[in-house]
Amino acid sequence: MLEVKGLRKAFGPLVAVDNISFTLEPGDIFGFIGSNGAGKTTTIRMLATLLEPDSGTAILNGRDIRVDPMSVRRQIGFMPDDFGIYDDVKVWEYLDFFATVYRVPKVERQSVIDNVLELVDLTAKRDAMATSLSRGMRQRLSLARCLVHDPSLLLLDEPASGLDPRARAELKELIAELGRMGKMIIVSSHILPELADFCNTVGIIERGKMVTHGRVEDIVRSIQQTRILHVKVIEGASEASMFLHGKEGVAATNLTGSTTLTVEFVGDGDMQADLLGVLVSEGYRVIEFREEAANLEDVFLQVTTGAVN
């Protein structure tokens, strides 16, 4: 578990990170969203124990990043935004170097390298020169490097920048897989839609402050006032539409077919369940009653525009 508590960092008069707090559980993928200069890299560098906070701290699995930075570092995989693979080494040598630095026992190194290569889908490139890899492959190799010591927290600073759509999609799939393995992942981006579909939590940072953060669905709920419910009945959609009109939480109803209608609804899950209840007890044979999936992109744009205004 990661608990970030009131992290703050100023550079002279500029407060780059201002009282940032959030919590992650194993398997959480946290999308850290903010425009250029918002404070993402500064926050990530503090979590990586490379930059001392002015105040606040973070606790990773019971260890304080300020009290015990060395043991925290062993549990962290950090992929900086400006990583470079300059050395003329083979892919496996590159990973072997980092495995050695992280004190992976010699007898285990071989299998650790094989495992991470397979995970990032670079097994075929094991003996290739690192400098010969495409940008997408280098990014995956860089991620592999962060995994050799099996960290519980991954800090990925704009990992998808400069990648083509296909390489991005592959990287997303890989990050999702790491989440399923139970790792906590912080992945930053200034492009909202890039993160929305595979992060379960997000934080939006603007000028050093966390504007909003939490579970993706909670944020969507808190912002999206009106929801669209799709209702399908075996017969009598038009009567059902009239019946629902004016019920608690119902802003409007629209007939969309002979057996289907939509309801513009303002209210919580309990109220939705109540609405379904009265419909059924009135004798309508309901075969579908579902909330339209929110458009995350729209919602996030709404949040950030609010912050700018």
Ligand X SMILES: Nc1ncnc2c1ncn2[C@@H]1O[C@H](COP(=O)(O)OP(=O)(O)OP(=O)(O)O)[C@@H](O)[C@H]1O
Binding residues for ligand X, rule: CB under 6 A, are 11, 14, 16, 34, 36-42, 81, 190
Distance separating alpha carbons of residues 187 and 40, to the nearest angstrom: 10
Distance separating alpha carbons of residues 200 and 216, to the nearest angstrom: 6
Smallest gap from Cβ 209 to ligand X, in A, equals 12
- Nearer to ligand X among residue 25 and residue 52 (C-beta): 52
User: Which of Mg ion, ligand X, none has residue 241 at its interface (CB below 5 to 8 Å by kind)?
Assistant: none
User: Which of Mg ion, ligand X, none has residue 38 at its interface (CB below 5 to 8 Å by kind)?
Assistant: ligand X
Q: Is 257 exposed, middle or buried (0-12, 13-18, 19+ CB in 10 A)?
A: exposed
- Nearer to ligand X among residue 90 and residue 207 (C-beta): 207
Smallest gap from Cβ 111 to ligand X, in A, equals 36
User: Which of ligand X, Mg ion, none has residue 291 at its interface (CB below 5 to 8 Å by kind)?
Assistant: none
- Nearer to ligand X among residue 63 and residue 190 (C-beta): 190
User: Which of ligand X, Mg ion, none has residue 37 at its interface (CB below 5 to 8 Å by kind)?
Assistant: ligand X
Residue 236: how many other CB atoms lie within 10 Å: 16
Residue 152: how many other CB atoms lie within 10 Å: 16
Output the CA torsion 241→243→247→250 (10° steps).
Answer: 0
| Among the residue ranges 36-44, 67-75, 114-122, 247-255, the one whose residues contact Mg ion (CB under 5 A) | 36-44
- The crossing angle, in degrees rounded to 10, of helices 91-101 and 135-145 is 30
| Kind plus residue range of the DSSP H or E element containing 187 | strand 184-189
- Under 8 Å between Cβ of 113 and 91: no
Smallest gap from Cβ 292 to Mg ion, in A, equals 35
Residues in 251-280 at the binding interface with Mg ion, rule: CB under 5 A: none
Taking the alpha carbons at both ends of the chain, their separation in whole angstroms is 34
Nearest residue (beta carbon) to Mg ion: 41
- Which of 29, 30, 41, 117 contacts Mg ion by CB under 5 A? 41
User: Which of Mg ion, ligand X, none has residue 108 at its interface (CB below 5 to 8 Å by kind)?
Assistant: none
Distance separating alpha carbons of residues 172 and 187, to the nearest angstrom: 10
| Among the residue ranges 5-13, 33-41, 107-115, 244-252, the one whose residues contact Mg ion (CB under 5 A) | 33-41
Q: Which two tokens stand for residue 15?
A: 């407060």
| Among the residue ranges 32-40, 55-63, 94-102, 203-211, the one whose residues contact Mg ion (CB under 5 A) | 32-40
Smallest gap from Cβ 174 to ligand X, in A, equals 22
Buried b (16+ CB within 10 A) or exposed e, 281-300: eeebeeeebeeeebebeebb
Smallest gap from Cβ 265 to ligand X, in A, equals 37
Smallest gap from Cβ 212 to ligand X, in A, equals 16
- Nearer to Mg ion among residue 40 and residue 172 (C-beta): 40
Residue 238: how many other CB atoms lie within 10 Å: 14
User: Which of ligand X, Mg ion, none has residue 173 at its interface (CB below 5 to 8 Å by kind)?
Assistant: none
Interacting residues with Mg ion (CB under 5 A): 40-41
